[in-house]
């Protein structure tokens, strides 16, 4: 592959991970499912979680755990190190900052890295494996959290759809 084709694949994988975060945090579960290979494996055991085998199982678990409107989540990813290992396979490391509501007034602010593999199937990149490691996990209680209504939160979904995403 030449330089331009390689960079185009790297950019596509960066946008795949951007959509992973955006669809997860805006709770677009059907669109989110499409980002994974069927045999996707998630391993968060190094960060206090577990291994989940299968994209359907993973999406069902996250949806049950974080799917309620009263459970806002934030996943922001940074400084990707993407490497193509063949025209249809790649590896990547991403820095992560995530904010998750654990209970009323109790929130987690976490920092770590995703270590991932990707596969291009039918012309589209998907996430094949993802392992999460942690640098810090802080539990905090803000003075208060401004409630974002479901209607306002879904504005982002509507906006993205207007632009064809």
Q: How far is the CB of 53 from a second copy (least distance, A)?
A: 18
Between residue 64 and residue 83, which ones bind a second copy under the rule CB under 8 A? 72-74, 76-81, 83
Give the H or E element holding residue 23. Answer: helix 3-25
Asked if 80 and 94 count as a contact pair (C-beta separation under 8 A), the reply is: yes
Nearest to 71 by CA among 84, 81, 62: 62
Q: Give the C-alpha separation, 52 to 46, whole Å.
A: 13
Binding mask 119-148 for a second copy (x = CB under 8 A): ------------x-xxxxxxxxxxxxxx-x
Q: How far is the CB of 121 from a second copy (least distance, A)?
A: 20
Q: Is residue 44 at the binding interface for a second copy, with CB under 8 A as the rule?
A: no
In the complex with a second copy, which residue's Cβ is closer, 33 or 153?
153
Question: Buried b vs exposed e over 15-44: b needs ≥16 C-beta within 10 Å?
Answer: ebbebbbbbbbbbbeebbbebbbeebbbbb
Q: Is residue 25 at the binding interface for a second copy, with CB under 8 A as the rule?
A: yes
SS3 55: helix
Task: Report the interface residues with a second copy, using CB under 8 A.
Answer: 2-8, 10-11, 14-15, 17-19, 21-22, 25-26, 46-48, 72-74, 76-81, 83, 91, 93, 95, 97, 99, 106-107, 109, 111-113, 115, 117, 131, 133-146, 148, 152-153, 155-156, 159-160, 163-165
């Amino acid at each position: 592959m030449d330089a331009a084709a390689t960079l185009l694949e790297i950019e596509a994988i960066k946008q795949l991970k951007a959509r992973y975060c955006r669809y997860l945090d805006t709770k677009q579960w059907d669109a989110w499912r499409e980002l994974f290979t069927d045999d996707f494996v998630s391993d968060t055991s190094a960060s206090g979680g577990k291994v989940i085998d299968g994209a359907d199982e993973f999406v069902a678990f996250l949806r049950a755990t974080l799917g309620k409107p009263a459970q806002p989540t934030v996943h922001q990813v940074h400084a990707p190190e993407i490497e193509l290992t063949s025209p249809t396979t790649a590896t990547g490391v991403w820095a992560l900052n995530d904010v998750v509501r654990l209970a009323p007034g109790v929130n987690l602010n976490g920092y770590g890295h995703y270590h991932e593999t990707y596969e291009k199937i039918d012309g589209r990149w998907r996430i094949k494996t993802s392992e999460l490691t942690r640098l810090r996990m802080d539990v905090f209680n803000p003075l208060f959290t401004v409630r974002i209504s479901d209607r306002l939160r879904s504005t982002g979904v509507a906006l993205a759809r207007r632009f064809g995403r």
